[in-house]
Structure 1
């Protein structure tokens, strides 16, 4: 279901003052898609029924600076890249890792968040410290994610790798005992461990496969450059740091 989220202001002389002189000057309404379960990047506010989170603040600011309006829709993560590839939507933002394989079929903005993959286990689990310790265990991860690909490449048939459509599903599998560990994006894993999983789960091991998130566009989109200029200006004037601090605490200048 689509929901009108934000109407971006027309780009004015103020935009030029921010160093965004090449941005589009006429508003266009674009379709933006996200995954509703990747907290704290995107999640449903149960009181307002609106999507909120780090990514939601980023795309709102980028849209305003780049000069486009947008309507937001949600879908399972596994369908997001195909939706952009086929042109069913114009833009996607959902903590999407920039990879060479994906970049062959869609365009990415410049990176806007540094990430990686981490292991989450139950608080009473003392036998898991690194990826090799997951051999013979049941591991929950997310369908279509780079974490699933990593597990397949590094563990293959030596573990029961179970992909779930939503983040909440894989965490509930861990808490319910049907999975021994969750392997997924570091910020999402850490957020769960500090919120709903506090006292019941813990993050273990090193950060695997350093990654960067990018905003996804239809191949050849005219909006990639305006979005990159907007992201650069947000870092320059401190807006990015303000948004980061809102959701993660003070930034370490990622």
Structure 2
């Protein structure tokens, strides 16, 4: 009888522990202002490539996940302040950022390319851009690249969201925008972007995008394992094909 009680108690503890593990909830941080990677639908729900990837990773890790939105400027400090557990919001892996957070393996590869009006000549060499006003989102690789490459020869106008940069482009307040090629690709297909086009070649070809976690967090390896699984079983391709007619992995 005594042994039966011990076995029963051990089984109950194991069951309770398993239930607790399954009930774990992780919070994913997302800007929700960067279509088609992350934005809000008409009902206010967060949608987009990043959200779908985050959901797929959570499913592989067998955890429930909820979304916490954050302004872009403060999104890394919000992660380190434990407002959420991981950040899946099209974040470029840079040496500077690696000083503040740990990154997973890249979950897609990006390029940077200018867009400007179709009916205006636009050359991207330094002499041609001298005196031009170029828009880009604040605290991005594009902004850093513009300042490092052109310095004071151009005026770099920074925006809190990519959408606001597009608004100033259509109103003529900037001559061009430098941004992620695939975000620009999506906008150029819209009514607002129909009179604009890519200009020149991509200026950065190997911008790797990763998921960020707090320094030393073992969640990084769990996310990496889940990423390998969704690539191997075709889940990643289904998500990719929902947004793009070409692979961005």
Q: TM-score, normalised by structure 2?
A: 0.86
Deviations 1:149-197 (A, max 9, x none): 0011011111110100011100010100100000111111111111133
Instruction: Output one character per residue of 1:90-117: Cα deviation in whole Å (capped at 9) or x when no partner.
Output: 2111110011111111011110101011
Please tell me whether the aligned partners of residues 40 and 191 of structure 1 are also in contact (alpha carbons under 8 angstroms).
yes
Task: Specify the alignment match of 2:35 in structure 1.
Answer: 39
Unaligned runs of 5+ in 1: 1-23
Please point out which of 157, 164, 170 is paired with 1:169. 164
Q: Based on CA coordinates, which of the two structures has the bigger radius of gyration? A: 2
- Residue correspondence of structure 1 range 86-235 to structure 2 within 5 A: 86-126=81-121, 128-132=122-126, 133-209=128-204, 210-235=206-231
Q: Does the residue aligned with 1:88 lie in a helix, a strand or coil?
A: coil
Tell me whether 172-181 or 190-199 shows the greater mean CA deviation. Answer: 190-199
| RMSD of aligned alpha carbons | 1.7
- Alignment of 1:81 with 2:86, yes or no, is no
- Measured in 2, the distance between the counterparts of 1:176 and 1:107 equals 39
**Unaligned residue ranges in structure 2 (runs of 5+):** 1-19
In the alignment of these two chains, the number of paired residues is 228
Distance 2:120 2:217 in 1: 47
Q: Quick check: 88-97 or 147-156, which moved more?
A: 88-97
Q: 1:33–1:196: structure 2 CA closer, same or farther, 3 Å change rule?
A: farther
**Contact between 1:111 and 1:213, CA under 8 Å: does it hold in 2?**
yes
Paired residues of 1:54 and 1:243 also in contact (CA < 8 A): yes
Question: What is the aligned partner in structure 2 of residue 6 from structure 1?
Answer: none
Q: 2: distance between equivalents of 1:113 and 1:196?
A: 27
